[in-house]
Amino acid sequence: MSPSLASQDPLHSALLERIEACYRQAEKTLNRHFPRPAVSLRMRGQSAGAAHLQENRLRFNPVLLAENPDAFLTEVVPHEVAHLLVWHCYGKVAPHGPQWQAMMRQVFGLEPRTRHRFDVASVAPKTFAYRCQCRDHQLTVRRHNKVQRQQTRYLCRACGAALQLSE
């Protein structure tokens, strides 16, 4: 994300400032320098953020940031920054393993949680109601379209019956 874009939106500026603050805190605590990542607000769906380790890049969900700014800046940003810090310190390790958990606790003073707790109703994908012999199912748009084009059919794991579009 370019600095000019960030300066136009206070929330984007706050995001960049929080990332920088996390890096300064890590550098002070770990007594070493870390390269700053590229940052984008191009994440969609129900994930709040992602760290692309080898590219030294962070992506964040702008909708969830706008809907939950305080929690997002307090929890999501350190979570994703910790992934990059662990990559720089240890290389390839388990994504939410002991090194990441220690980074969250020791550097950021946060309880390491692997998932956010945001309401995702506004970013949840549209689904279609289907039925088998024993229950209702929700299929994604992609799966629904495959059924409609007769490219596939889905079976219930419980009863084995083919799913049918609910009327």
Domains of the chain in start order, with CATH, are 3-107 (3.30.2010.10), 127-165 (no CATH)
Cα-based distances in Å from 38 to 1, 13, 59, 67, 149 = 7, 14, 8, 23, 41
To the query of whether residue 111 is one of the catalytic residues in this protein, the response is no
State the catalytic residue, choosing from 67, 75, 80, 111: 80
Rounded to an integer, the average pLDDT of 67-84 is 96
| Nearest CA-CA partner of 50 in 88, 98, 84, 11 | 84
Determine the pLDDT at residue 2.
44
7 has pLDDT over 60: no
| Nearest CA-CA partner of 80 in 63, 65, 60 | 60
Determine the pLDDT at residue 118.
85
| Nearest CA-CA partner of 34 in 86, 93, 74, 105 | 86
| Nearest CA-CA partner of 48 in 115, 105, 95, 97 | 115
Quick: pLDDT tens for 11-38: 999 999 999 999 999 999 999 999 999 9
141 has pLDDT over 60: yes
6 has pLDDT over 80: no
